[in-house]
Chain A
């Protein structure tokens, strides 16, 4: 940011500096809010502020269970008054695009060979204008997706995109660095008696969709090779929506009679929003960066309230190629529909486990914007972003990898941070009854069954005592009691068998609901996972057949009235 580009004509540079300052501040705010997610309780800080402001996220919330309209409406109102200021000043992706554009300015000029003011396309707007239709098509796809319950287009929502990239790409890199440094200084710190540093560590998160997310971000940034802010003006569906809302607003660009039609402003405009007649503005594109005002050697450009003396809007259709629109819509629609028809998406495969509180799959896919907030806060990192193996339509959605870790039963952060309520925010007791699936023990691989070892890691790890024992040939063998299993996967994570565990969680009996009490549902299925002090006594005797087995010093089956008995 401190790299000031030399501006040959030097009218007031104030707005540009102000813009960088505001953008940087907003970006830092985003980093702080995002970074403290999972560290500071969700009630204490508005971690999702930017996601909540995003009207597309609110739209997705319609399909989900979180209807948070106030921030999004506030943003829409501000956009109506001032136009796309969000894009110019607030959007973290916009900031990154601006940064990348600066770095890419040299290569861009060399590449295009003709300098910055090359007119291109029949519309008379600067390079990239021919692509303008794409963002409208993408916005239409987002809307269509909501109707058809396909959330794939939401992957392109800029706030979701940048949040996801930070969650699965930059956050792991940061933790890796910090933890590596801590490991390095640990022994020294210990010698100095700084145990707080010596024994601090962070669990290293790693995500399977990390490279895909990084590629998508790089793709967006690399667009700067062709033209500055190309993503924002031609692709961003949120930009399209905000441009539409801001088109009729009262805060306008105005060009005085001092204008000599030199065209400098037009070639300087990063959004290609100025027409051949500099007094005309493509209002759906203007992000109010005021570059035109600063560029104008005659100081003929100003911004202000009211229609008197204001610019004339270029028609909405300006620079819009019907072919481009139809092609994008057709292609995108095809990808979306075919992706949704993918059998891996339509019917759950193998062990696709959704986080506790995830709403029914069609609604879930429609409302999950793949922002990665749940992945970021997941304290065991059992939550992974689905890669292409789950089908393109489910790309980036959270799934459990129980071999990485089990789902911590005392944690309900994923639901708390989900911006659309694709994962419901549940109180702990409800969340513990939001059954993820059921563990299935594979005897052929189990150390206790197949290799006669004294291994009861699954029992040790199970928070619900769902592992019971059966004695066979004098040895105790674990068995899953499905009526107690929550599907948390602690057993699968703990299983010491190399490679695939001998106990695997399948989405058998998972509970997915938009509303209502999970505990109630499980109660109807005669499952109650709330620990009761005397729960063993209120089970009918003998029902827990061989619960504690016989062999190796452990006493016989069932429980006598004995515990609680006074010692002699």
Chain B
């Protein structure tokens, strides 16, 4: 499969620029942009730092996503107080590498934020996030735990979710970069980029109780859309998620792209979950998101780029 062609580069640059010219409301929900054919999904195998650099390169460079002076919100998974070896939270090395990339691109502020499921203190410590963000200027670690940190937003066209409270910083940031761990999930089979966005809202209980989880995820992803999604597949929890413990597969790769559904869909088919290979459209929330026009689910209609890097 091909590398970067001039055509694809131009197309990518165009699709990145178009939303910038639109008012921010339309930018945050560019579901209509799915007309861009063949979304590019990049998989890079190798140590996280080098792999991330290469992955961004394949997507047109970090400058395509972050422009000087912008506020970036990087959303890793730091919901559980476990070390990255358990493969339930994002690798702190990857988070730091991403933050450095953003700073290099001229970001004025980089926020690393999540709404932890467990006690915030141990979460930021034991996941290594505190250390990952330590000593960096203009970088702030946010473990959001108070309702006041979230702002109510309406979900236009939401089928089950009419409104929800989203982390203020995520709404106000210029760029949202989703950096979830690739892992299994008892209720949604996989927890990748689309499911990871639940870490930016306040009330998650209703997703399970009152609402249909898969439909609600479709609605949620209409309001929260990352400009870039990079899945941490350095280790993959293939069963027993989202908390673990479970079997950890040392996949050793990152999977990224701008189409969140495509990235997730590719990742679903990349490994065996719960000991089984499956197609992306067997995952209900992916199907829902695809049906809402949020992205491509068919891997044959993606431009897949696979690269391998080694330590320089």
A564 near B142 with CB under 8 A, answer: no
B119 near A379 with CB under 8 A, answer: yes
Closest chain A residue, CB of each to CB of B241:
A460
How big is chain B's contact interface, by range?
Answer: 35 or more
Q: Restricting to A455-471, which residues have a CB under 8 Å from any CB of B?
A: 455-457, 459-465, 467, 469
Q: Chain A residues near B145 (CB, 8 Å)? A: 201, 203
Q: Chain A residues near B9 (CB, 8 Å)? A: none
The verdict on A330 contacting chain B, using a C-beta distance below 8 Å, is no
Q: Chain A residues near B213 (CB, 8 Å)? A: 454-455
Closest chain B residue, CB of each to CB of A529:
B245
- Chain A min CB distance to B191 (Å): 9
0/1 string, B206-249, CB within 8 A of A gives 1 = 10110011100000000000000000000000111011111111
Q: Chain A residues near B270 (CB, 8 Å)? A: 567
- Chain A min CB distance to B286 (Å): 9
- Chain A min CB distance to B185 (Å): 7
A555 near B278 with CB under 8 A, answer: yes
The verdict on A60 contacting chain B, using a C-beta distance below 8 Å, is no
A497 near B209 with CB under 8 A, answer: yes
Q: Restricting to A437-475, which residues have a CB under 8 Å from any CB of B?
A: 447, 453-457, 459-465, 467, 469
Q: Restricting to B255-312, which residues have a CB under 8 Å from any CB of A?
A: 270-278, 282-284
B186 near A179 with CB under 8 A, answer: no
B118 near A447 with CB under 8 A, answer: no
Closest chain A residue, CB of each to CB of B118:
A408
B240 near A455 with CB under 8 A, answer: no
A463 near B243 with CB under 8 A, answer: yes
0/1 string, B127-146, CB within 8 A of A gives 1 = 00000000000001011111
Q: Chain B residues near A561 (CB, 8 Å)? A: 275
B144 near A536 with CB under 8 A, answer: no
- Chain A min CB distance to B232 (Å): 17
The verdict on B168 contacting chain A, using a C-beta distance below 8 Å, is yes
The verdict on A199 contacting chain B, using a C-beta distance below 8 Å, is yes
B140 near A535 with CB under 8 A, answer: no
The verdict on B117 contacting chain A, using a C-beta distance below 8 Å, is yes
Closest chain A residue, CB of each to CB of B205:
A496
The verdict on A534 contacting chain B, using a C-beta distance below 8 Å, is yes
The verdict on A77 contacting chain B, using a C-beta distance below 8 Å, is no
The verdict on A193 contacting chain B, using a C-beta distance below 8 Å, is yes
- Chain B min CB distance to A261 (Å): 63
The verdict on B16 contacting chain A, using a C-beta distance below 8 Å, is no
The verdict on A410 contacting chain B, using a C-beta distance below 8 Å, is yes
Q: Contacts A453-B208, A567-B271 known; A536 to B247 CB distance under 8 Å?
A: yes
Q: Restricting to B135-179, which residues have a CB under 8 Å from any CB of A?
A: 140, 142-146, 148-149, 168-169, 172
The CA-CA distance from A460 to B191 in the complex, in Å, is 11
B119 near A454 with CB under 8 A, answer: no
A454 near B205 with CB under 8 A, answer: no
The verdict on A537 contacting chain B, using a C-beta distance below 8 Å, is yes
- Chain A min CB distance to B204 (Å): 9
B276 near A552 with CB under 8 A, answer: no
Q: Chain A residues near B278 (CB, 8 Å)? A: 553, 555
A535 near B186 with CB under 8 A, answer: no
The CA-CA distance from A535 to B237 in the complex, in Å, is 12
B146 near A183 with CB under 8 A, answer: yes
B245 near A531 with CB under 8 A, answer: yes
Pick the contact of A460 from B113, B243, B246 — CB < 8 Å? B243
Q: Restricting to B80-126, which residues have a CB under 8 Å from any CB of A?
A: 80-82, 86, 109, 111, 113, 117-122, 126
The CA-CA distance from A379 to B146 in the complex, in Å, is 15
B187 near A411 with CB under 8 A, answer: no
Q: Chain A residues near B121 (CB, 8 Å)? A: 379
The verdict on B28 contacting chain A, using a C-beta distance below 8 Å, is no
The CA-CA distance from A555 to B282 in the complex, in Å, is 10
- Chain B min CB distance to A240 (Å): 41
A410 near B122 with CB under 8 A, answer: yes
The CA-CA distance from A553 to B276 in the complex, in Å, is 11
A533 near B247 with CB under 8 A, answer: yes
B169 near A555 with CB under 8 A, answer: no
A563 near B149 with CB under 8 A, answer: no
Pick the contact of A560 from B117, B143, B276 — CB < 8 Å? B276
The CA-CA distance from A74 to B120 in the complex, in Å, is 40
- Chain A min CB distance to B76 (Å): 15
Pick the contact of B142 from A195, A531, A552 — CB < 8 Å? A195
Q: Chain A residues near B214 (CB, 8 Å)? A: 454
The verdict on A389 contacting chain B, using a C-beta distance below 8 Å, is no
0/1 string, A538-552, CB within 8 A of B gives 1 = 000000000010001
The verdict on B77 contacting chain A, using a C-beta distance below 8 Å, is no
A554 near B274 with CB under 8 A, answer: yes
Name which of A447, A453, A563 has the most chain B CB atoms within 10 A of its CB. Answer: A563
Q: Chain B residues near A158 (CB, 8 Å)? A: none
B243 near A563 with CB under 8 A, answer: no
- Chain B min CB distance to A427 (Å): 15
Q: Chain B residues near A186 (CB, 8 Å)? A: 148-149
Q: Chain B residues near A463 (CB, 8 Å)? A: 80, 243-244
The verdict on B197 contacting chain A, using a C-beta distance below 8 Å, is no
The verdict on A306 contacting chain B, using a C-beta distance below 8 Å, is no
B275 near A496 with CB under 8 A, answer: no
The CA-CA distance from A442 to B208 in the complex, in Å, is 17
The verdict on A380 contacting chain B, using a C-beta distance below 8 Å, is yes
B119 near A465 with CB under 8 A, answer: no
- Chain B min CB distance to A475 (Å): 12
B168 near A190 with CB under 8 A, answer: yes
B122 near A408 with CB under 8 A, answer: yes
Pick the contact of B238 from A410, A453, A456, A563 — CB < 8 Å? A563
B140 near A553 with CB under 8 A, answer: no
Closest chain B residue, CB of each to CB of A568:
B277
Closest chain B residue, CB of each to CB of A406:
B118
Q: Chain A residues near B238 (CB, 8 Å)? A: 563-564
The CA-CA distance from A562 to B184 in the complex, in Å, is 14
A563 near B247 with CB under 8 A, answer: yes
Q: Restricting to A161-218, which residues have a CB under 8 Å from any CB of B?
A: 179, 183, 186-187, 190, 193, 195-196, 198-199, 201, 203
- Chain A min CB distance to B275 (Å): 4
B187 near A465 with CB under 8 A, answer: no
A465 near B275 with CB under 8 A, answer: no
**Would you mind naming 9 contact pairs between A and B with Cβ atoms under 8 Å apart?**
A190-B169, A193-B109, A380-B118, A410-B81, A462-B243, A533-B248, A536-B239, A558-B275, A567-B271
- Extra pairs beyond A447-B208, A454-B187 (9, CB < 8 Å): A193-B109, A380-B119, A455-B208, A460-B117, A460-B243, A496-B205, A531-B86, A559-B239, A563-B271
> What are the nearest 7 A-B pairs in CB distance?
A531-B245, A496-B209, A555-B276, A195-B140, A456-B187, A459-B186, A201-B146
A residues adjacent to B (C-beta < 8 A): 179, 183, 186-187, 190, 193, 195-196, 198-199, 201, 203, 379-380, 405, 408-411, 447, 453-457, 459-465, 467, 469, 490, 494, 496-497, 531-537, 548, 552-556, 558-565, 567
